[in-house]
Amino acid sequence: MCGGLVLGLGLAAASQATTLTGFQIVFGLSVGLTAGSSYVPMIALTTRWFTHHRSLAVALVSAGLALGSAVIAPLARWIILHHDWRQALLVLGIIALAVIVPSALLPRQPPAAPRDVPPATGRAAATMSVAQALRTPQFAAIALAHFMCCAAHSGPIFHMVPYAVDCAVPAMAATTVFGVAGLSALGGRIIRGLIADRTGAKHTLIAGLMPQATAVSLYLFTANLVSFHAVAALFGFSYGGVMPLCAILVREYFPARIMGSVFGVVAMISTLGMPLGP
């Protein structure tokens, strides 16, 4: 709820910025501080609520991220084209206040589990602290994999629309490329969640990284709207499917009571890969 308030007010304030520095400070702080207030806590909460079909549950919750990308990007582009960027930010701020704040009233704390033991390998004891968890090789492997995954897919995420415009695709049509990737990521999360419940999160994650590498490489051959949509569909399905699996791996190796802290650090490290890729 606090994140929704800060995000909505921050976007509205950024829409009134008169200098680039002022915009960067207001927009960067409001969006940056609130980016971690929804995804990580909601994923951590979901992993504590569900034991059976946990991968699917996490995939469904994280699917909201893909759905939001598919809906908001074209909306923001339309407002910018027909009005200006200030109106777009103001509308997005109002949407954040109207959607996130009431939605924050819905989640409930999960019932206390009788034993807090990671279900997969037993390598993490129930009494493990956050400091101990951060020193394990399992944490290092998960964090590094998430970091490299974000560094790889952030390039296309940031550049697919400007690249399409450079290839003479109209601006509004180019925005739909990002929407296609978002919708495809929605399907990828759900399908990979179903698969992970049956074959395990680690094997599903490994199997999903190769299609992501292939999809990123295919951008070398895109030149028109049809090819951009085709590659965006493959790219979205591949990167969207692997993102929730890192949270499942954290839960399988570490106790639920420190899930939010450990996954938060993993997400922070992966976020550092987001500016590196572009």
What's the 3-state SS for the chain? CHHHHHHHHHHHHHCCCCCHHHHHHHHHHHHHHHHCCCHHHHHHHHHHHCCCCHHHHHHHHHHHHHHHHHHHHHHHHHHHHHCCHHHHHHHHHHHHHHHHHHHCCCCCCCCCCCCCCCCCCCCCCCCCCHHHHCCCHHHHHHHHHHHHHHHHHHHHHHHHHHHHHHCCCCHHHHHHHHHHHHHHHHHHHHHHHHHHHHHCHHHHHHHHHHHHHHHHHHHHHCCCHHHHHHHHHHHHHHHHHHHHHHHHHHHHHCCHHHHHHHHHHHHHHHHHHHHHCC
pTM above 0.85, yes or no: no
CATH number, domain containing residue 84: 1.20.1250.20
One pLDDT digit (tens) per residue for the chain, 278 residues? 888 999 999 999 999 999 999 999 999 888 888 877 888 888 888 888 888 888 888 888 888 877 887 788 788 888 998 898 999 999 999 999 999 899 989 988 887 765 555 555 454 466 788 899 999 999 999 999 889 888 888 888 888 888 998 988 888 888 888 888 888 888 888 888 888 888 888 888 888 888 888 888 898 888 889 999 999 999 888 888 787 888 888 888 888 888 888 988 998 898 888 888 88
Q: What is the pLDDT of residue 109?
A: 83
* Number of separate domains in the chain: 1
Domain with 181 in it: 2-106+126-276
In this structure, is residue 35 part of a structural domain?
A: yes
In this structure, is residue 42 part of a structural domain?
A: yes
In this structure, is residue 116 part of a structural domain?
A: no
In this structure, is residue 145 part of a structural domain?
A: yes
